[in-house]
């Protein structure tokens, strides 16, 4: 198995994003999700990513129930800081007391004594990052978490946080069609010795060639609301044209489109990134892991860089209101 380092942890070069087994991309099958988690460990995944807000605790409980008895076989990442309001919308709460309470509940659901990597899921604009990271540092001192991570933050926020307590990893959306980390974050991570974990490395399914526009998606799918702009019918039709040459490149490399998108990420940043594609399908879980065996020539990487990027894709990655609220680089 190909491995990479995230702080002190040696992990599979591709991790498993667990969100879709509980929420976000249509209705999952509980029995299949439990099998998927078991088989993921069997085939070589040992880095699992979840969060308290994935299904409002359901995803953590699923992991605890399905593979809690195999806890020594995987590096576990979870997140705090997002909650569901009474009206069903999501809010951000980075207050120290909330972070500590969320961690306690997560440990119970995960059937675990400690969380290896614990992220602040989003920056709370009403709470200085120093206060939120201070609470995470307390959890490290108490032995409830091993290391600290941040999700969807700017390079400035990372530097402020890192000055309070070493940050082990930053997680943000990064793929061929979501290049924000290339603006400043990847350089900041290199400078500070912080690992970078790309989420949604398959462009929320778009880069697999299997995605559909909003008119064909199940109600509640995040691509019909928070991630809607690129899946609106007109934008989606335009974006799909990029997949014609992309599919041909995948064919030439003898791999699937999903595998090509992951191989592109694996080849970036001196082979240090650890993408975490999510799925609720066992066959896709296996397909994604096989991308670790694909070696791309630098010319292919460069061709992909120019084919699909922020400059060639139509639409923002989130709805306008959410885009403005996210702390990651705007320019």
| Catalytic residue positions, numbered | 54
How far apart are alpha carbons 17 and 277 in whole angstroms?
5
CA dihedral 93, 6, 277, 46 (to 10 degrees): -110
């Amino acid at each position: 198995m190909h491995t990479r380092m995230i702080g002190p942890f040696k992990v599979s070069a591709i991790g498993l994003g667990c969100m879709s087994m509980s929420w976000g991309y249509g209705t999952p099958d509980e029995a299949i999700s439990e099998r998927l988690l078991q088989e993921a460990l069997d085939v070589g995944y040992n880095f699992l990513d979840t969060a308290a807000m994935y299904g409002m605790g359901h995803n953590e409980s699923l992991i605890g129930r399905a593979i809690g008895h195999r806890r020594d076989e995987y590096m576990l990442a979870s997140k705090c800081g997002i909650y569901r309001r009474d009206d069903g919308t999501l809010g951000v709460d980075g207050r120290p007391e909330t972070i500590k309470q969320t961690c306690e509940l997560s440990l119970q659901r995960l059937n675990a004594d400690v969380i290896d990597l614990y992220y602040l899921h989003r920056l709370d604009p009403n709470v200085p990052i120093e206060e939120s990271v201070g609470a995470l540092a307390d959890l490290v001192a108490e032995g409830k978490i091993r290391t600290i991570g941040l999700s969807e933050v700017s390079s400035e926020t990372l530097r402020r946080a890192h000055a309070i307590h070493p940050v082990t990893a930053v997680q943000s959306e990064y793929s061929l069609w979501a290049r924000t980390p290339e603006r400043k974050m990847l350089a900041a991570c290199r400078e500070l010795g912080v690992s970078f974990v790309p989420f949604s490395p398959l462009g929320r399914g778009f880069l697999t060639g299997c995605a559909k526009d909003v008119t064909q998606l199940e109600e509640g799918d995040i691509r019909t609301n928070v991630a809607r702009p690129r899946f609106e019918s007109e934008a989606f039709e335009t974006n799909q044209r990029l997949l014609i040459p992309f599919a041909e490149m995948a064919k030439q490399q003898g791999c699937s489109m999903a595998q090509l998108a992951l191989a592109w990420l694996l080849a970036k940043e001196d082979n240090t990134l650890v993408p975490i594609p999510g799925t609720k399908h066992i066959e896709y879980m296996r397909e994604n892991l096989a991308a670790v065996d694909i070696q791309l020539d630098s010319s292919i990487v460069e061709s992909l860089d120019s084919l699909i990027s922020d400059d060639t894709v139509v639409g923002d990655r989130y709805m306008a209101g959410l885009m403005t609220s996210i702390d990651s680089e705007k320019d």
